[in-house]
Amino acid sequence: MGVPANEPRSVLVGLLEDNMAAVGSWTPTVNDGWLQAKKQKTLQISITPSYSEVETAHMDPTSSVPRRVSSFFIIHLFAPSRAELWSLYTSVANVLNTRALVHEGVNGDTDYRFVQIARSDETKAVNTMDKDCEMPNTDGGCLGYRKDMTVVLVHHE
């Protein structure tokens, strides 16, 4: 055990991009950053970190007893219609519900114990927003629908 070799966000990106089914004709890709205004008429996925918790299994800092690190991330799903958002959500949920991909190694990365949808101290497990207005629109209106999923990614150090 020890610190994982791969950065946790990259592990989540790989999990989704490697295993999600296409949604209509859209091939699943995760944005490098936040949701992009120029893509507001198509499907988008963005992943942002929330916070991490560390649980020590023993009070003696000199012992070799491992620590459990739970890192919370928010997977933001964006689509121009409710129906497309639902299709995108079900495609992501199918990956996160496939035990072989998310337990005892996340997408084959055995440094990570598991990932699952979870409520955190700061966010709901799944939160849906109608007609998201955070991305600017030249017509002054609001386009699209958003669903935020909180996941916890766990590893031992």
**If the chain, 157 residues long, is cut into consecutive pieces of 10 residues, what is the mean pLDDT of each piece?**
89 97 95 87 94 77 76 94 94 96 95 92 76 53 81 91
Indicate the length of the chain as a whole number: 157
Residues whose CB falls within 8 Å of the CB of residue 7, separated by 6 or more in sequence, listed in order: none
Residue 77: the pLDDT is 95
Closest to 40 in 3D by CA, of 81, 91, 12: 81
Output the pLDDT for position 138: 53
- Tokens 């995108």 -> residue: 88
> Is 55:65 a contact under the CB 8 Å cutoff?
no
Measured CA to CA, the distance from residue 151 to residue 148 in angstroms comes to 10
Read off the pTM. Answer: 0.85
Res 152: pLDDT = 96
pLDDT score for 122: 77
Residues 29, 17: contact at Cβ < 8 Å?
yes
Q: Is 137 left (phi over 0), alpha (psi -120 to 50) or beta?
A: beta
